[in-house]
Amino acid sequence: MELPLVREFFPELAAAGVVGQLGRLGASVQQWNARLNLISRKDAEHIEEHHILHALTLTKVLRPGAGASFADLGTGGGFPGLVLAICYPQCRFTLVDSVGKKIAAVQEIARELGLENVIGRAQRAETLREKFDYVTGRAVTALPKFLGWAQPLLKLARAPTASAGEPPNTGVYYFKGTLWREELAGSPQQPASVWPLEAWVPRPFFAEKFLLHFPPAPLTQWAFRAPVA
């Protein structure tokens, strides 16, 4: 699969030689989608923009060092997890979804692409007990609930970044529309950074879509309970 938009908006990835792998990922997910509803039919037709490009916006801010560990919660057809696994072969990715057949497909896609840095977990995110440097998610559940699953999975000690001297940027990365403000109103846990995706990919599909970053927080900060009405 040719990826002209990826080449246009992520020339650094073309230089890094990963566009071919991303194209094979797109083709493989489309093939699987014909058998199994991994992603919606409309999204499958626009897989480059809706899934690959969307997930790639994370590479504008992530700088994981070698050996860093990621959990992608509610990965569905492997987004953003599989895209990141291609971009960061030096890191380890645990892709989690409660639907077993989606994880079976994601594992098969990873095998077809020769991605040795991916493992799948068919289980509910809230039952995970491992620790990770990064937790990612898109379109999984409301933010307070997602943060409640994700924060306990984060290592509190910061992992090294790829370039010495850069600030540590581990934590939770979640994609969300403008609703994020409403969902976190009154919560002590506010994002440390909010990036509008349109700044990186100025196309209508990315309008009002954001990437939010929450650094690892001690228990007292993430265990927020909404006040009883």
Ligand X SMILES: C[S@@+](CC[C@H](N)C(=O)[O-])C[C@H]1O[C@@H](n2cnc3c(N)ncnc32)[C@H](O)[C@@H]1O
Residue numbers 81-120 binding ligand X by CB under 6 A: 96-99, 102
203 assigned ligand-binding residue: no
Residue numbers 2-31 binding ligand X by CB under 6 A: none
Question: CB under 6 A: which stretch of 9-17, 27-35, 136-144, 187-195 binds ligand X?
Answer: 136-144
The number of residues that bind ligand X (CB under 6 A) is 19
Residue nearest ligand X by beta-carbon distance: 76
79 binds ligand X (CB under 6 A): yes
Q: How far is the CB of 227 from ligand X (least distance, A)?
A: 24
- Pairing outcome for strands 92-97 and 69-73: parallel
3-state secondary structure of 131: coil
Residue 74 vs 191, nearer CB to ligand X: 74
Q: How far is the CB of 164 from ligand X (least distance, A)?
A: 32
Instruction: Give the separation between CA 182 and CA 179, rounded to whole angstroms.
Output: 5
Instruction: Give the separation between CA 227 and CA 93, rounded to whole angstroms.
Output: 36
125 binds ligand X (CB under 6 A): yes
Selected binder of ligand X within 26, 64, 65, 74 (CB under 6 A): 74
Selected binder of ligand X within 28, 57, 69, 75 (CB under 6 A): 75
Longest CA–CA span in the chain (Å) reads 54
Q: Which two tokens stand for residue 189?
A: 């846990």
Q: Nearest to residue 181, comparing CAs of 145, 212, 220?
A: 212
Question: CB under 6 A: which stretch of 22-30, 123-131, 152-160, 184-192 binds ligand X?
Answer: 123-131
Burial group, residue 84, by CB count within 10 angstroms (0-12, 13-18, 19+):
buried
Question: CB under 6 A: which stretch of 29-37, 75-83, 103-111, 204-212 binds ligand X?
Answer: 75-83
Q: How far is the CB of 167 from ligand X (least distance, A)?
A: 27
DSSP state of 223: -
48 binds ligand X (CB under 6 A): no
How many helices (H) and strands (E) would you count in the chain? 11, 7
Q: Nearest to residue 173, comparing CAs of 88, 55, 82?
A: 55
Residue 76 vs 216, nearer CB to ligand X: 76
Contacts for 89 with CB less than 8 Å, ≥ 6 apart:
115, 117
Alpha helices in 113-229 (DSSP H): 143-150, 180-183, 219-222
Q: Under the rule (CB under 6 A), what is the footprint of ligand X?
A: 39, 73-77, 79, 96-99, 102, 124-126, 138-141
State the binding site for S-adenosyl-L-methionine: 74, 79, 125-126, 138
